[in-house]
Amino acid sequence: MRESANNLTCTEFQAQIPELIGSGEQIGNHPHLRSCRLCRALLADLDAIAQAARQLFPVEEPPDALWDHIESAIVKEEATSDLR
């Protein structure tokens, strides 16, 4: 693990990433990143994954038969509540 300009090792820096990202700070300005190409690449990857995921999932159609099951369940529930 290499030392960075601010004396954080990559391991130490990476241990802080969840908190740094989660806090909404501009993590790109972190001193460690100025001198560490590998951690910059890591962050670029994580960002790319998050961006790609946002546009990822197509809207899926449930099977037609599902409504029949839901409708039957509603009928049962209402029949039960009428008996009470």
Partner 1 sequence: MPYYTSSTQLPSETPKSSTAEAAYAPTERVASISATNHDQAEILARAQAGDHQAFAQLYSIHKKHVYSICLRMVGSIAEAEDLTQEAFLQFHRKIDTFRAESALSTWLHRLTINVVLMHLRKKGLQLNSLDEIMQPASDQRPGRSFGARDLTLSGAIDRLALQRAIKELPAGYRLVFVLHDIEGFDHNEIASLLDCSIGNSKSQLHKARLKLRASLRNHPQQEGHK
Coil/strand/helix, residue 84: coil
Side-chain half-sphere exposure of 20, counting CA atoms within 13 A: 15
Tell me: does residue 84 bind partner 1 (CB under 8 A): no
Site string for partner 1, 37-66 (x = CB under 8 A): xx--xx-xxxxxxx-xxx-xxxxxxxxx-x
Of 19, 57, 67, 39, the closest CA to residue 28 belongs to 39
Cα 41 from Cα 33, distance rounded (Å): 9
The least distance separating partner 1 from the CB of residue 5, rounded to whole angstroms, comes to 18
Tell me: does residue 35 bind partner 1 (CB under 8 A): no
Tell me: does residue 73 bind partner 1 (CB under 8 A): yes
What is the contact surface with partner 1 in residues (CB under 8 A)? 1, 10-11, 14, 17-19, 21-22, 37-38, 41-42, 44-50, 52-54, 56-64, 66-75, 77-79, 82
